[in-house]
Amino acid sequence: MIVITGGAGFIGSNLVRGLNARGEEDILVVDEFARGAGPDNLRGCAVLDCVDKSDFRSRVQRGDPGLRQLRAIVHQGACTNTLERDEQYLLENNFRYSMDLLRHCVDNRIPLIYASSAAVYGSGTDFRERPECEAPINLYGVSKKLFDDQVRECLPRSASQVAGLRYFNVYGPREEHKGKMASVAFHLNRQLQAEGRVKLFRGSGGFGDGEQRRDFVFVGDVVKVNLWFLDHAGKSGIFNVGTGRDRSFNDVAGNIIRWHGTGSIEYIPFPDELAGAYQNFTRADLYALRRAGYTDEFLTLEDGLRQYFDWQHAAQPQVAGCREES
C-alpha cells in the first residue's frame, strides 16, 4: 500500500490519478477531512481508503503494526500558506508532523518521498541544494528548511529511501481550493475572465513592471518526478523540481491573453506587506536531479498553460465523493 498525505489536495490528488493511470489502486489517502477538507479532487479516483490526518498521525505515533509494511509514504501534506505568521502552527504541520513520518519510515525501512519547497532559497540567486544557498525569508520557508536539515542528518544512517523534492512554482488542474495560495496562472486567468484584464505588480527587486521571474512547473511534470522516485527506491537526497528555466509574470499573462484571444495588463503597486518577503527570481538548478538519473524533459510554460486551460475549459463541475475499492 502507498500512503499519500495531502492526497485530496492539489499535487496529492494529481498523484493519485497518476498512480491510477498505471493501474495502481492500493492507495491510502490522508488529508484533513475532519476540518472540512472535502475529497472533491478525488472524484472518480480508485483508492483503498480515505482517512483523516489526525487519525493517521496517531497511528504513526503509536507504531500501529498495520503501518509497518507500507510500500512508501508520499508526503504532500503541509500548510502551504507562505504568508502564515503562526510559527507554532507551521512547526506543528510542516516540521513535527513530517518528523513523525520520517522516524516511522526510517525505523521500518519504508521509502519516504516528501514535498519541500523552493521557498528555502529566499531572495538568493544560487539554487543548488546546499545549506549555504538557503536563507528563507518567511516562516513557511523556515519550516521547510528545518525539516530538510533533519533529513540531511538522517540520510547517512537511513537504510531506506528518503527523497525531498523542492517544488518551484507549481500550477495546473485541481488547485482551486488553495485560495490565495493558488498559482499565479490560476489567479491571472480568473482576473481576465472577471475583468477582462490581469493585474501584475510594478517593478521590484531590480526587475521592471511584471518582469519578476519564476520557475513555473506544470503539475503533471511534478507527478512524473514523484512516480520516478517511487520506481527508484535507491535514490535518496534533496532535489529541485522545476523546469530549470525562469519566465516573467508578463510571459504568464501574455500566454493567458493569447489563449483567450482578448485582455490587457494592468500594473499595480507592489504591496508593502511583501517587501523583504517576496522572491523576485527563482530558477531550479537541475544538476542533482539529472545526476540521480531523471531524464524526462519538462513542459515549456506555453505548453503547460495550454494544457491547463484546455483542461479548465473541458472540466465538468466536481461532485464530492471518494470511490472506495477493496
Q: Is the dihedral of CA 267, 272, 274, 279 positive or negative?
A: positive
**What was the pLDDT predicted at 34?**
64
Q: Is 178 a catalytic residue?
A: yes
Give Cα separations from 264 to 21, 82, 89, 261 (angstroms). Answer: 38, 28, 39, 10
DSSP secondary structure letter of residue 298: P
> What is the spatial distance between Cα 262 and Cα 296, in angstroms, rounded to a whole number?
34
> Per the domain annotation, does 30 fall within a domain?
yes
> Per the domain annotation, does 57 fall within a domain?
yes
Query: Which residue is catalytic, options 178, 199, 267, 294?
Result: 178
Q: For the residues 191-196, what does the mean pLDDT come to? A: 96
pLDDT of 108 strictly over 60: yes
Residue with more model confidence, 40 or 123: 123
**What was the pLDDT predicted at 276?**
82
DSSP secondary structure letter of residue 91: I
**What was the pLDDT predicted at 144?**
97
> Per the domain annotation, does 294 fall within a domain?
yes
> Per the domain annotation, does 273 fall within a domain?
no
Q: What SS3 state is found at 307?
A: helix
Nearest residue to 29 via CA among 158, 45, 21: 45
**Range of 18's domain?**
2-169+218-244+282-298
**What was the pLDDT predicted at 321?**
37
**Structure confidence at residue 315 as a pLDDT band (50, 70, 90):** confident
Residue labelled with grid coordinates 527570481? 281
Residue with more model confidence, 64 or 39: 64
Predicted structure pTM score: 0.94
> Per the domain annotation, does 204 fall within a domain?
no
- In this structure, the strands spanning 162-167 and 112-117 are parallel
How do residues 231-247 score in pLDDT, each as one tens digit? 999 999 999 999 999 99
**What was the pLDDT predicted at 57?**
97
Q: What SS3 state is found at 43?
A: coil
Query: Which residue is catalytic, options 140, 171, 278, 308?
Result: 140
> Per the domain annotation, does 8 fall within a domain?
yes
Please state the φ and ψ torsions of residue 83, each to the nearest 5 degrees: -100, 0
> Per the domain annotation, does 264 fall within a domain?
no
- Which grid cell sits at 173? 488542474
The number of distinct structural domains making up the chain is 1
pLDDT of 319 strictly over 80: no
Q: For the residues 75-93, what does the mean pLDDT come to? A: 91
**What was the pLDDT predicted at 137?**
94
CATH number for position 161 = 3.40.50.720
> Per the domain annotation, does 130 fall within a domain?
yes
